[in-house]
Amino acid sequence: MPKEERLFAPETPLGKFEFAVRRAWCQETAYPGNQPEWTLDNPALGQCAGTLLVLMDYFPGGKILRSEKFHHYAYEFRGQIVDFTGEQFGPGVKIEFDGERARADLLETEAAIKAGTPERYRLLAYKVREILGCPDQFWLHQSMC
Q: Confidence band (pLDDT; 50, 70, 90) for 5?
A: low
Query: What DSSP character marks residue 64?
Result: E
Global confidence as pTM: 0.91
Alpha-carbon span 46 to 89, nearest angstrom: 10
Q: Name 59's Cβ contacts closer than 8 Å, sequence gap at least 6.
A: 13, 14, 17, 75, 77, 82
Reported as a single tens digit per residue, the pLDDT across 99-138 is 999 999 999 999 999 999 999 999 999 999 999 999 988 8
Amino acid at 34: N
| Cα 33 from Cα 97, distance rounded (Å) | 22
pLDDT of 144 > 60? The answer is: no
Q: Is 83 left (phi over 0), alpha (psi -120 to 50) or beta?
A: beta
More confident residue, 59 or 143: 59
pLDDT, averaged across the chain: 92
H or E segment to which residue 67 belongs: strand 63-67
C-alpha separations of 14 from 24, 46, 55, 82 in Å: 15, 20, 9, 9
